[in-house]
């Protein structure tokens, strides 16, 4: 049986999601934003079971930081870190952007629960 993990959204991840949803609501409508919200939150909630199934973030692994994984929900990337029984969501990023520097910065930022 899989272990249960608590999923924690960092303040930066919440801001990222809010910004994305505002953009989608403005450009595609409130229904599209609500649907995207449900998809992202639903996908992230699956991390409460077996979060290690997600891939390691390639940009971080390439610089010797293999402790971060990510979910993808095209075109979005949702990096996270597992700390004990907590899965900490670091952000929600549009994968069409160059993310190396931003991913590294978020990986090095301390989380409020640590």
Within 10 Å of residue 104's Cβ, how many Cβ atoms?
16
The domains of the chain, with CATH numbers, are 6-108 (3.30.2310.20)
Estimate the share of the chain in helix, then strand, then coil, as percent rounded to the nearest 5: 45, 25, 30
Q: How many CA atoms lie within 13 A of 63 on its CB side?
A: 11
Helix (H, G, I), strand (E, B) or coil at 3: coil
Q: How much is the pLDDT for 84?
A: 92
Q: Is the pLDDT of residue 67 over 50?
A: yes
* 42 or 99: which leads in pLDDT: 42
pLDDT of amino acid 63: 83
Q: How far apart are CA 66 and CA 88, in angstroms?
A: 15
pLDDT digits (tens, 9 = 90+) for 22-42: 999 999 999 999 999 999 999
- 17 in Cβ contact with 91 (< 8 Å): no
Residue 1 has pLDDT above 90, yes or no: no
Q: Which has the closest alpha carbon to 49: 86, 90, 5, 1?
A: 5
CA angle, residues 33, 34, 40, in degrees to nearest 5: 85
């Amino acid at each position: 049986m899989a272990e249960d993990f608590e999923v924690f959204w960092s303040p930066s991840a919440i801001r990222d999601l809010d910004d994305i949803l505002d953009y989608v609501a403005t450009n595609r409508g409130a229904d599209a934003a609500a649907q995207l919200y449900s998809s992202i939150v639903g996908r992230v909630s699956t991390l409460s079971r077996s979060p290690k199934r997600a891939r390691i973030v390639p940009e971080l692994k390439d610089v010797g930081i293999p402790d971060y994984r990510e979910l993808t929900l095209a075109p979005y990337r949702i990096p996270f870190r597992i700390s004990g029984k907590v899965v900490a969501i670091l952000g929600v990023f549009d994968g069409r952007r160059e993310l190396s520097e931003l991913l590294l910065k978020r990986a090095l930022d301390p989380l409020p629960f640590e």
